[in-house]
Amino acid sequence: MLLRGTMQVNPAGELEIGGITASTLAGKFGTPLYVIDEALFRENCRRYREAFGPDNRVVYAGKALLCTAVCRLAEEEGLCLDVASGGELYTALKAGFPPERIYFHGNNKSPEEIRQGLEAGVGRFVVDSLYELDLLSRLAGEAGKRPVILLRLTPGIEAHTHEYVRTGQIDSKFGLPIATGQALAGVRRALACPNLKLLGLHCHIGSQIFDLEPFREAARVMLSFAAEVQAATGWFPEELNLGGGLGIYYVSGDDPPAIEELAAAVLGAVRQTCAELGVPQPRVVVEPGRSIAGPAGTTLYTVGAVKEIPGVRLYVMVDGGMNDNIRPALYQARYEAALANRITDEPTATVTVAGKCCESGDVLIQNVRLPYPAPGDILAVPATGAYNYTMSMNYNRLPRPAMVLVKEGRAEVIVSRESLEDLVRNDRVPDGLWK
């Protein structure tokens, strides 16, 4: 298993994160436990800021990992924040995140969510459809506001990633396609809305992308479109938002470009294309989620039942599963793992790590090499910082795990473990149900 961030192996052969052994964390806070390496999260934010430079903007995509403490980390590191619902917006505002640095996304914002964004004074609405354009224009008029907007477009790019996380192709629920003329129609309509200030254009081509070429291609397609728009209308985007999507290392064979390589590719393509087209260079905005939060998170589980089916499979059951990490079940995502309490022991077994949900598909990892596991061992699954907690659920009425932030030997709870009482908090039994 690859050691990331502050992970190290101590002299006793145990895994440490942020200067604390996994078994100490498990003992103190229980399992399953989401552990976030504060130093690595901040380092990833800083690398993005430095690589893209002061003229451009880095927007942390909150859907990867969001709670009030994480908002504060992103805020302190000088990032903007992408929210995609009223709930994410509420979380950001609760954390005191400056509203002018918030980008409000979403392909079907409700009137209530739009009003919430207008009232908060979010910095940008990223408008996804002509319907939303009209709705936002009307609600802005009613509120006496003139929000700044970007239009989300689909540039028609097929990024090589799982089809569930591909978003740049024409057949997508997100954005206005350039190829069909709807993008140009959207720009014209936005320019005609006196209540809206059209500042720029947005696209997001997908997630967990290892190849830099689709990012360069997105920049070229978007700028070519912008040049056409300028010729047709005289308007040119001040801001070009190219979304997120940089992949991370999960398992051996994954070879993502570095943040600095992404920045060089994107900024280089923008510079070159603007020169070729003879258009001004817009501010470049990127929206990384996974590549900031993903590597910073590790989930700790306690091993329970170990079930060997001779000649077939060795199952190791952990005390979490698809409830805290849906990604393997949702899109065959792969992970590494280690026995954190004896990480230097020789791997002698090939095991399948299964969760505790009533679903045969509740398998976290197929065929991982581990020392022969025993009940009570602590299993660490790294790279779970993104799209784990934010996609977690209560199937089988399992309470959601706690999340702790670790740094220099200290651990602080940033999301409490759900209690059994939490699980029934919103349940109601109507009067007379039993009669």
Ligand X SMILES: *Cc1c(COP(=O)(O)O)cnc(C)c1O
* Least Å from the CB of residue 204 to ligand X: 4
Compute the distance between CA of residue 255 and CA of residue 13 in angstroms, rounded to an integer.
Answer: 28
Query: 29 or 48, CB closer to ligand X?
Result: 48
Looking at 45, 71, 203, 358, which residue is catalytic?
A: 358
For residue 108, the SS3 value is coil
* Least Å from the CB of residue 289 to ligand X: 3
For residue 275, the SS3 value is helix
State residue 383 phi and psi, 5-degree precision: 65, 35
Query: 152 or 400, CB closer to ligand X?
Result: 152
Amino acid symbol at 210: F
Query: 79 or 386, CB closer to ligand X?
Result: 386
| DSSP structure class, residue 417 | P
Query: 23 or 207, CB closer to ligand X?
Result: 207
| Token pair for 170 | 């024409």
* Least Å from the CB of residue 429 to ligand X: 39
* Least Å from the CB of residue 178 to ligand X: 16
Is 45 designated active site? Answer: no
Compute the distance between CA of residue 358 and CA of residue 97 in angstroms, rounded to an integer.
Answer: 39
Residue 104 and residue 92 in contact, taking contact as beta carbons nearer than 8 Å: no
- Give the residues across from 177 on adjacent strands: 154
* Least Å from the CB of residue 184 to ligand X: 21
Compute the distance between CA of residue 41 and CA of residue 73 in angstroms, rounded to an integer.
Answer: 8
The CA radius of gyration of the chain, in Å to the nearest whole number, is: 23
String of b and e for 319-341 (b: at least 16 CB within 10 Å)? bbbbbbbbbbbeeebbbbbbbbb
Per CB under 6 A, residues contacting ligand X are 61, 63-64, 82, 105, 204, 207, 243-246, 287-291, 386
Query: 207 or 384, CB closer to ligand X?
Result: 207
Query: 291 or 323, CB closer to ligand X?
Result: 291
* Least Å from the CB of residue 124 to ligand X: 12
Compute the distance between CA of residue 48 and CA of residue 303 in angstroms, rounded to an integer.
Answer: 37
Compute the distance between CA of residue 128 and CA of residue 106 in angstroms, rounded to an integer.
Answer: 7
Residues known to be catalytic:
358
